[in-house]
Amino acid sequence: MPNRVMSEEKDKEQVEMEESFNNIFEGILGSVRKETREKYPTQSVMYPLGNMLEEALKVKFPNLAQDNVHKLAFMYENLTYIKNSFEDVVIKFNKTSACCADQSSFIMNQIKKHYAEGKEFDFTPYYDKRTNDYYDFHIPKFWDKSQGTEWLEFYDALISFAYGHNKKYIEFYAKTIVPLLTNKQNTSYENKGNESGDKEISPKEEGNSNSEGAVKGA
């Protein structure tokens, strides 16, 4: 009998908790358009929250195109995914994780301003009045010459990839990221060779060198 009473009490508590949750959720959904509330039941969490975020963005930016609203909402809903994806490329390019968080955050803020306010990317170094100096540690040293075109393409590809459409991501990676990292690697090798005083030896010079070595050895 005690077990049955305890079970009934738990069932009652569960019902009360669900009713309480539904009431709270209904109160939140009250600020969302009627069609949104009808489209998604209260039991579904992610879709209503996503729509509430888009509705909030529409209130804050009333003249924003729907595509821009969606891309902004995606950023807020997937901050870690976007941040990690940007940092991965930054780290591979810089050969270090130093300042990668600063640089990924900088790009994310530039993307937000672009879609929310229509602003172009600004890669101008930060001027500190206290030190009377400029700082650019937070700015990636690549894809900074074309108003953020590559970063916007990368972000768009990440959105498509998150929804299971990998074509844009694969094409962007092959067309833009691979050449970027390959050129960086080749440049590093060239710089290393110049620093050590190495120079490219022509086949003719190499042949002469070998002949001289053979004579001396004789």
Predicted local distance difference test score (pLDDT) of residue 194: 56
- Residue 133 DSSP one-character state: E
What pLDDT does residue 48 have?
Answer: 67
Which tokens is 184 given?
């960086």
Contact by Cβ (8 Å): 95, 191: no
Q: Is the pLDDT of residue 87 over 70?
A: yes
Average pLDDT (14-25) is: 54
17 pLDDT higher than 70: no
Interval 192-210: pLDDT, tens: 555 555 444 444 444 444 4
Task: Map tokens 């209130």 to a residue.
Answer: 59
- Indicate the residue type of 110: Q
What pLDDT does 193 receive?
55
Position with higher pLDDT, 105 vs 205: 105
Percent of the chain past pLDDT 70, that is, above it, reads 63
| CB of 29 closer than 8 Å to CB of 52 | yes
What was the pLDDT predicted at 73?
93
What is the DSSP secondary structure assignment for residue 173, as one 8-state letter?
I
Question: Is 27's pLDDT higher than 90?
Answer: no
* Cα dihedral 61/63/64/69 (nearest 10): 60
- Res 34 pLDDT > 80: no
Mean pLDDT, rounded, of the chain: 78
Per-residue model confidence (pLDDT) at position 52: 82
- Tens-place pLDDT, residues 109-146: 999 999 999 999 999 999 999 999 999 999 999 999 88
pLDDT at 14: 56
pLDDT in tens, 166-194: 999 999 999 999 999 998 876 655 555 55
Q: Is the model's pLDDT at 72 over the cut of 80? A: yes
**Residues forming a β-bridge with 127:** 134
Of 24-33, 119-128, 150-159, the one with minimum mean pLDDT is 24-33
Sign of CA dihedral 45, 47, 53, 56: negative
pLDDT computed for residue 18 by the predictor: 56
Within 30-163, where are the H helices?
34-39, 46-60, 66-77, 79-94, 100-117, 149-162
- CA-CA distance, 152 to 148, in Å (whole number)? 6
